[in-house]
Amino acid sequence: MESSNHVIVFPNLDAMKILKNRLLDHIKKAGTLSFLISTFEYKLSWTLDLPFHHNYQCSYVISNSVKQDLMRAVCHQNVIGWNIFLKGYTSQYWTQLYSNSTELSEHHKIPNWGIKMVKNAISLLKQIWDNHNQYLHGTT
């Protein structure tokens, strides 16, 4: 385990990548739009200090108004903090982006999408915490 000033870095990058990808898979199954998954993939890689590999890509062009809304959500989350995102403190603009999207018809939109996104983010943080504790203290 490495220590950089006051931050302890979890040594198992492979486990972190698996956990991050598990979160992305879960939010994809929860009906998350592809451009949001791509954004979360990048920002979580950066937040968790993981090498970035683009696995999720948006296969269509998003409108300028959606780009502006996406940038507002990213900037808002930057202010709140991406590490705080993993604790469940997310920008209201993510849900707004999802709700206003024309990519999904109204009958394909997932009820309580924002709640599911937060639940999955908190679950990722708990799994990271559990793996970290297991590494430090063992399984017993």
Highest mean pLDDT among 23-32, 40-49, 65-74: 65-74
pTM for the full predicted model: 0.80
Size of the chain in residues: 140
Q: Distances in Å between the alpha carbon of 22 and those of 36, 72, 73, 120?
A: 15, 26, 23, 9
Q: Distances in Å between the alpha carbon of 90 and those of 19, 114, 122?
A: 19, 9, 11
**Dist. CA 73–CA 99, nearest whole Å:** 13
Helix axes 34-47, 92-100, angle to 10 degrees: 160
pLDDT tens digits along 14-39: 877 888 888 899 888 888 888 999 99
Q: What is the pLDDT of residue 2?
A: 44
Q: DSSP characters for 95-121?
A: HHHHHH-SSS-GGGSPTTHHHHHHHHH
Over 60: is that where the pLDDT of 69 sits? yes
pLDDT tens digits along 103-124: 665 656 778 889 999 998 998 8
**Dist. CA 22–CA 61, nearest whole Å:** 26
